[in-house]
Amino acid sequence: MEIFGLSPTLFWTAVFVISTFGLYIAIAIWARAGTTNDFYVAGHDVHPVFNGMATAADWMSAASFLSMAGLIAFMGYDGSVFLMGWTGGYVLLALLLAPYLRKFGKFTVPDFVGDRYYSQTARIVAVICALFISFTYIAGQMRGVGIAFTNFLNVPIEVGVIIGAIIVLFYATLGGMKGITYTQVAQYCVLIFAFMVPAIFLSLQITGSPIPQLGFVGNAQDGTPLLQNLDRTLVDLGFQPYTEGAKAKIDVFAITLALMVGTAGLPHVIIRFFTVPKASDARKSAGWALVFIAILYTTAPAVAVFARSNFIETVNESDYSIDVRRGEALSADMGEDATPQWFYNWERAGLLGFTDKNADGRIQYRADEETNEVTTLDRDIFVLANPEIGNLPAWVIGLVVAGGLAAALSTAAGLLMVISSAVSHDLCRKVLFKRMSDGQELLVARLAAVGAVLIAIYAGINPPGFVAAVVAFAFGLAAASFFPAIFLGIFWKRMNKEGAIAGMSTGLVVTGLYIIHYKIGFGSAVIGALALLAAISCAVIYFGTRERIDGTKGSLAFAGIAGVLALAGIAGFAGLLPSLAIGDPASWFLGISPEGFGAVGMAISFAVSIAVALITAAPPQDVQDLVEDIRIPSIRTHVEHGPKTAHAPAPAKQEPRPETGGAKPPGRPAGGQ
């Protein structure tokens, strides 16, 4: 029965999406940022419980909400790497890094790196790492937004990506971190409710238990264990048993480790701990976030099993109708064995596909490529499709769409904040234009967010893989660049700027090249794009360090290298450079996939950082004393901050140490001893 001329699904989806978008915009207007302190760190006055909810929403991206259950559903046991890696990484971040970073009292991760390593070059390298990681990650979020829009609101993926980008840009640039924080609190409520409601319905349908976690290990309605039943069905169709893994153990270990340390190095998660009043509140908010995250993460494996079981039961050996495909009939009129209507809906969206290879008019879903007739199967759709597959009420479908959008937008907003703060605060104000006013810095931050959204739209429309796979690349880059620099910066007082710069650069480059080689390939245009990015990086380093505080000049070598790389970039885009084919998985290093190579990159980064630090001069004594201080709660409870209108969090902040490695002491962090 139609509601106001619309199908029930479209009506309820529109109601939930429009009302939640209106709520987000209202919160952004209420929390409009007027100072840099509000814009970057929400005034440092967010309550730990609210920060825990915002952190959970920030961390549980479209990958967690939309894609993780789909990946587990089709990877089975191997999909557990995402659960172990992401959850373990969060614990690592909460226990090892967050409180100490908060005590350091900086706006951003590059801010921490720049001051801890008393180096503008280290700050610039950290900015480059943050931008690489954030742009890779945000591509996955925008793709998730497009998928959520495309089927339920009947718009193309491209239009969905653009609509989502405009919404997140509005409340991120208007409210800054303060607006984002309270928007993420609302988004957490929406997404967790949207994830749990269909999970409870499906658990009741399939196992009779209202608790999905119990249904996952319980029996199906026929009395047989659910997992055993699924194992038997998959084996009959030629697939690997659900409870057995196909990946090599070393690859499982590498992916889990890369996701774990990558989580601990993600800048958009780390900056959430800068928004609470003191270090002890950072610990409390980390604990609350873990509770909020666990609700979804313990439910996802159950949703995955329900999705795979339902998909096989309703699609395999069903009667396919061309008339329904054309929209000239409904599946409900085609008899009991008809292919369900939702299959046609997602097929029209291009995310499912059927090829009748044996011309029998029925869908055969098999592991063998020769006989498998489900020729397109986008795993990202399964959380969204689950309510339809389970024949749940239309309002549940609308709720899930709103939840998926909330998950994607909450993380995208956090990433936009990282990008805009990295450009405006760390690059422009701290490096290139040190006399910028607060107003000018805010303007640059908002313009940087606009530029980031435009790039994110393109990346979201043309992603290099599934949402979770794209996000896994971001985790690999974060693991190989930020994590060693932050970890050693907190726990090893002998770590110096030379080691940090060498480690971050090596980790980022090695990991990035490995991923590109096995996922994209080095075509002429790809080489050109990489050369241009490297040219821009060298140019920024040159301009950022050419006039040192002690009157010496930076190296002209960076300017020369930037020029050569720029010419190489132009040649690449003109198709003049040779191309290399995508790497063969048979040649993976030690059998480690691109998703797991971040663990190798991290090990290399650690080794390079430590080796370079040991053969170069030790940090100044006051930097070593500072590292001792921030690890001892009894000495410094938290870093004090200046008035909210101040630019820097420290009331008596000094300029960063010049690039001389000489005797002048570095600037203390805010409220230094």
Digit-coded pLDDT (tens) for 304-317: 888 888 888 888 88
Higher-scoring residue by pLDDT: 370, 221: 370
What does the mean pLDDT of the chain come to? Answer: 78
Structure confidence at residue 586 (pLDDT):
86
Stretch (H or E) spanning 374: strand 374-377
Rg (CA), the chain: 26
The yes-or-no verdict on residue 79 having pLDDT over 70 is yes
pLDDT for residue 230: 85
pLDDT at 612: 92
Could you tell me which residue, 401 or 320, shows the higher pLDDT? 320
pLDDT number for residue 633 = 56
Two tokens at 172? 């991120």
pLDDT at 250: 87
Helices (H) and strands (E) in the chain, counts: 27, 2
pLDDT score recorded for residue 600: 92
pLDDT over 70 at 293, yes or no: yes
Instruction: State the Cα angle at 146 between 271 and 172, rounded to 5°.
Output: 30
3-state class of 420 per DSSP? Answer: helix
Domains annotated on the chain, with CATH? 2-307+394-483 (1.20.1730.10)
Give the contacts of 498 (CB within 8 A, at least 6 positions apart): 612, 613, 616, 617, 661
The answer to whether the beta carbons of residues 143 and 471 sit under 8 Å apart is no
- How far are the Cα atoms of 30, 73, 225 from residue 308, in angstroms, in the given order? 43, 6, 15
> Taking 50 as the threshold, does the pLDDT of residue 665 lie above it?
no
Task: Check whether 384 has a pLDDT greater than 80.
Answer: no
Closest C-alpha to 80, from 229, 298, 403, 307: 298
Question: What residue type is assigned to position 9 of the chain?
Answer: T
Residue pLDDT, tens place only, 158-217:
787 888 788 877 777 777 777 788 888 888 888 888 888 888 888 888 888 888 888 888
pLDDT confidence of residue 655: 40
The closest of 476, 452, 428 to 129, measured between CA atoms, is 476
**Does residue 442 surpass a pLDDT of 70?**
yes
- In the predicted model, is pLDDT for residue 99 greater than 60? yes
At residue 647, the pLDDT reads: 38
What whole-number distance in Å separates Cα of residue 516 and Cα of residue 616? 32
CA atoms within 13 A on the CB side of 448: 25
Q: Could you tell me the pLDDT band of residue 472, with boundaries at 50, 70 and 90? A: low
Output the pTM of the full model.
0.74
> Which one, of 44, 105, 100, lies nearest residue 651 by Cα?
105
Q: Which residues pair with 219 in a beta bridge?
A: 225
Query: Contact 397/353 with Cβ under 8 angstroms?
Result: no
